[in-house]
Amino acid sequence: MQADKNIPDYLTDDFSMYLENVTSLTDPENPELLSIYLTNLFEQLKATPLLFSGMVDQLAMAITTKIRIDSKNLALIDLSIEPSWADVKPFIGVHADARACVTEIMQDAEQDLKIAVLLIHFYNRYDATPLKAEEDDFEQVDDYGSDDFDENY
């Protein structure tokens, strides 16, 4: 993952849910848990393509292994403001077994699909490493070296 911590405002809530879902299913002791969950989620979506209407974090999870995003070129677009589907669509490839499902979603829930694709794009570029704390310019006060303590307290 690269160091892209700037999630656009229009994605923050959904991205937070998507990140939490993926993180909660990533288990080092059971590494196939996430893969199994994503496969099952996609099978549900395939049977009912509009199953996750309004739940873009779940839609993103369901299609995450079924689409390929050209993130290198998508990143060249200004994503700080919400792009249109026409801006995003050229950077998406869909696996053969998901085309019918994704096409139906695109026809009936284009906005959800676009947001789901952007969630995956930003997740793939997201670096969860905590930022380093900035150093203080202030000298630390050593209260323990002072004589202001009452030893009998």
**Does the structure show a pLDDT above 50 at 153?**
no
Do the domain assignments include residue 151? no
Do the domain assignments include residue 124? yes
DSSP string, 81-137: SPPPHHHHGGGEEE-GGGHHHHHHHHHH-HHHHHHHHHHHHHHHH---PPPPPPPPS
Task: Express each pLDDT in 77-128 by its tens digit.
Answer: 999 999 999 999 999 999 999 999 999 999 999 999 999 999 999 999 876 5
Q: What pTM value is reported for the model?
A: 0.78
Q: What are the distances in angstroms from CA 24 to CA 54, 57, 149? A: 21, 13, 47
Total number of domains constituting the chain: 1
> Cα(116)–Cα(76) distance, rounded to whole angstroms?
19
Do the domain assignments include residue 80? yes
Do the domain assignments include residue 59? yes
> Cα(70)–Cα(93) distance, rounded to whole angstroms?
8
CB of 83 closer than 8 Å to CB of 58:
no
Helix, strand, or coil (residue 25): helix
Helix, strand, or coil (residue 1): coil
